[in-house]
Structures are given as C-alpha cells and as structure tokens.
Amino acid sequence: MGRIIVEVMPKPEILDPQGKAVGSALPRLGITSFTAVRQGKCFHLSVDGPVTEELLADARRAAEEVLSNPIIEDVVRVEALPEEGAAK
Amino acid sequence: MGRIIVEVMPKPEILDPQGKAVGSALPRLGITSFTAVRQGKCFHLSVDGPVTEELLADARRAAEEVLSNPIIEDVVRVEALPEEGAAK
C-alpha cells in the first residue's frame, strides 16, 4: 500500500491569521528563532499497491479541484511518500 | 532566508472526520483511486540566514510544544525546505 502526500499553503499575498497566532505564541515559550510562520494543510492519500504516475496525476487533479481553494491557496507538493511512512 | 517545514498528522488510531469528508467527496468527481484520506497540518517556519541544526532543534521543540497536540497528533516531519521554495 502506497501513499501520496499533498501539501497546500495559503498564497504568499494572503493573510494567514492561524500562522500569525502560532508565530506570536512561540516567543512566549522562549523560541525566538523564527521570523514568520505560515500554516497550511496536508493530505495523505492511500492507494492500493505502489504509487504510479497515473495515481500521481489523479492526486494532482484532486489537489487542484478538491483539496485546495485556488483563489487563496497554492498546491506546493504532490509526491509519493517513502514506504516506511506507508507502513505506519 | 531559509525555511523549515513541520508536518503534523492525526495519530493513526484517531478518527479524522475532515479526511473522511474529503475522501467521500473525491468519487463524486470521478476520482476513485484512493482508499483513504487523512488530513493534517503543515507549518513553514521562516528563519534569517540558512537553516542550522540548532534551528532545526528549535523547530522540533516548537512542533512538540505548540504546533501539535501530542494526545491526538504526531509530528511526522521537521526538515529544511530547499532554497527554491524559500525564494517563493
């Protein structure tokens, strides 16, 4: 059984209140190394058998049509997850 | 300027209603290749300068203490994003 990961992030020009909230929580914990935080979504799509090019194409279509809102979000990654992840 | 990605997924034994909803929406679009969908979160942490081991350690701590709820979620990835992504 393979898995495909799809990563969706808010477009750079879109405000990201969740990311901002996380970014302001970190210094309160003494973590001051990060200049900005953006929060996005990721999806793990399970498939029977190995991940083929055809399945990746399906995943890309799903990413554009269902998993992301193209007005405010970018699909930044669609790729097969290594098998060790799939065994989890 | 570098960036670190943190990926957080619901634990395998935890129900994931968002993922389930997405999974049932896909066949309505004719995409029937996927046996299951899980939805998680990802965070892009920006840093000044290149990503060092020390910054990755900070990111791991942020991931465990702020970005994830360890009762129901696993931190599945903490790593530097390639520079091309950082240039975005």
CA–CA distance, A31 with B57 (Å, rounded to integer): 10
ipTM of the complex: 0.87
Task: Please provide the DSSP assignment of A14-36 as one string.
Answer: S--HHHHHHHHHTGGGT----SE
**What's residue A1's pLDDT?**
84
Check: CB of residue B4 under 8 Å from CB of residue B61: no
| Per-residue model confidence as pLDDT tens digits over A2-42 | 999 999 999 999 999 999 999 999 999 899 999 999 999 99
Chain A residues with CB inside 8 Å of B41's CB? 39-42
pLDDT confidence band for A84 (50 / 70 / 90): low
Q: Which of B38, B28, B47, B41 is nearest to A32 (CA)?
A: B47
**Mean pLDDT throughout A74-88?**
76
A32, amino acid identity: T
Mean pLDDT of chain B: 91
pLDDT confidence band for B48 (50 / 70 / 90): very high
**Residue B69, token pair as written in the block:** 């709820």
**Mean pLDDT throughout A64-74?**
95
Per-residue pLDDT at B88 exceeds 80: no
CA–CA distance, A74 with A7 (Å, rounded to integer): 9
Per-residue pLDDT at B86 exceeds 50: no
**What's residue B1's pLDDT?**
84
**What's residue A80's pLDDT?**
95
Chain A residues with CB inside 8 Å of B9's CB? 42, 44
Exposure string (b/e) for B36-55, b if CB count within 10 Å is 16 or more?
ebbbbbbbbbbbeeebeeeb
**Mean pLDDT throughout B12-40?**
94
**What's residue B84's pLDDT?**
58
* Start-end of H helices in chain A: 17-25, 53-62, 83-86
Task: Select from B43, B48, B67, B81 the residue whose CB has the most chain A CBs within 10 Å, as the one to mutate to test that interface.
Answer: B43
CA–CA distance, A17 with B48 (Å, rounded to integer): 21
Strands B36-47, B73-80: parallel, antiparallel or unpaired by DSSP?
A: unpaired
H or E segment to which residue B70 belongs? none
> What percent of chain B is predicted at pLDDT more than 70?
94
Other C-beta atoms closer than 10 Å to the C-beta of B16 total 20
**What's residue A41's pLDDT?**
96
CB contact under 8 A, B39 and A42: yes
Mean pLDDT of chain A: 91
